[in-house]
Amino acid sequence: MKKFIGAILVLGLLIGGVYTINNNNNEVHTASVKDPGGGGH
């Protein structure tokens, strides 16, 4: 059971890391959160 939980945590970290990198490259997440109209660019 611990291996299963560990695998989920690792998967979450990987997905979270990719998500963060993509947002940093595109600056989509930050702009959309601060300004839904897209004026943050």
* Cβ atoms of residues 37 and 27 within 8 Å: no
Round to whole Å and give the CA distance between 31 and 25: 12
* Cβ atoms of residues 35 and 29 within 8 Å: no
Helical residues (DSSP H) of 1-41, grouped into ranges = 2-26, 28-34
- Using a cut of 0.85, tell me whether the model's pTM lies above it: no
How many CB atoms within 10 Å of residue 19?
Answer: 11
Kindly report, residue by residue over 3-35, the tens digit of the pLDDT: 999 999 998 888 877 777 766 666 555 555 555
Quote the pLDDT of residue 4. 93
Quote the pLDDT of residue 31. 52
